[in-house]
Amino acid sequence: MISIPAGVRIYLACGATDMRRGFDGLAVMVQEVLAQNPHSGALFAFRGKRGDLIKLLWWDGQGLCLFAKRLEKGRFVWPISATGTVSMTTAQLAMLLEGIDWRAPIRSWRPELAG
């Protein structure tokens, strides 16, 4: 996994995205559909219709970076809304990229008593 600098805003583009889009197509989508600046330093995540492919677009200060991941089994958990954006934390993004339901993670253990 590529480490994400602290303080980077992360946005999920709700709905399905045409995964044939590259740098320029996704940057235009960020501007026109999400009403954001693709060169702001924020990270934008897009998911295809089948749900097994995700692309991340990020401006690192020198140029646009485009990362892609395809799950061999399962689907990326995505918001139900067909339009708009959802912001998330870097921890939620890490869970998303691992195929974990980032919206309501289940903790494996929780302390019941102190001491």
pLDDT tens digits in sequence order for the chain, 115 residues long: 567 888 899 999 988 899 999 999 999 999 998 899 999 999 999 999 999 999 999 998 999 999 999 999 888 988 877 678 888 889 889 888 888 888 877 766 667 777 6
Q: Residue 3: inside a domain, yes or no?
A: no
Residue 19 belongs to a domain = yes
In a domain, 59, yes or no: yes
Reduced to 3 DSSP states, what percent helix, strand and coil does the chain have, rounded to the nearest 5? 15, 25, 60
8 A C-beta contact, residue 70 and residue 53: yes
List helix spans (H) across the chain: 23-32, 90-97
pLDDT of residue 114: 75
Q: Are 44 and 38 in contact (CB under 8 A)?
A: yes
SS3 95: helix
pTM comes to 0.84
- Would you say residue 114 lies in a domain? no
- Cβ contacts of residue 7 below 8 Å, gap of 6+? none
User: Residue 18 domain-assigned?
Assistant: yes
Asked if residue 105 is part of any domain, the answer here is: no
State residue 107's pLDDT score.
65
Q: Dump strand ranges (E) for 31-81.
A: 43-47, 53-59, 64-70
User: Residue 37: inside a domain, yes or no?
Assistant: yes
Per the structure, the count of domains in the chain is: 1
Place of tokens 């980077």: 8
pLDDT, residue 82, reads 66
- Domain of 44, in residue numbers: 10-97
